[in-house]
Structure 1
Amino acid sequence: MVQNNTNDGEKFTLEQIKAAHAKTRSGADFPNYIQEIKEMGVIAYEHFLSDGHIKYHGENEYTIAAPPKWEAKKINTDSDKEDLKAILKIHQSGKTDYLTFCAEAAEIGVEKWILDMKEMTCTYYDLQGNKMLTEKIPANKA
């Protein structure tokens, strides 16, 4: 069971998630961000690259959605798993920021990714709903 550090059964809010995300400057900071939102009660989230909106899921079917972050963009219909691995390696080493990674992922056919906090995995999907890659989320560095 995920511990929720909010009081009296309150649910997590977009403001709490935004505050945690504001501390994330690159892919290298990502594990700490994931740990922080997991502690809030987030059990999964879906990030859509077409416009950047995100759906955050909690226990008991609780879901909140963050609005689009950018104008709608085209997702490449041809997906490339090897290119995804390459841009992930660069991003996770801290050499690209979030927006650059999102743009590059859309260009190589990533429609969305889903983070599963219980399994501590991130799975990338193409427009046809095919899994491109699943990776373990590394432990936080704090």
Structure 2
Amino acid sequence: MKLSAKSRYALASLVKMALVHESQPTITVLEIAEELEISKIYLERIFSELRRGEVVGSIKGSQGGYYLTRAPKEITLYDILHSVEPALFSENDATVDKTSQNIERALVEMVYTPMKEGLAKMLTNISLADITLEAQGEEGNYMYYL
């Protein structure tokens, strides 16, 4: 499965937010864009969709920025992807319903519905905190011996 650039940038940005969540409750799109080397304009559009999906909120003004609407452990991968890629979770259009209802029914029952349910289940079992924890592990909690 290949995620769009929009989904990948949304995920990376939210992991960045979660990494600094405790020490920095709000963060600007400019800060994220510069640190992750993502277009600020593109990131603003993504954050607009994340805001509509209630994954992030915003505060205006000089001390403003975006904040996570819930703790990272309460935000699932499903919440994030559903905000930026709603078509991924939409119902499929009928394929051959007019010419062969049996084939259409079989496709819905054996392919479309199980795929949609399986994807939703898997994505709801992964939280932003899980991804953040994995990201922290690579940055190192190194122990040095002298």
Q: TM-score, normalised by structure 1?
A: 0.25
Which of the two has greater strand per residue?
1
**Which protein is bigger by CA-based radius of gyration?**
2
Q: TM-score, normalised by structure 2?
A: 0.24
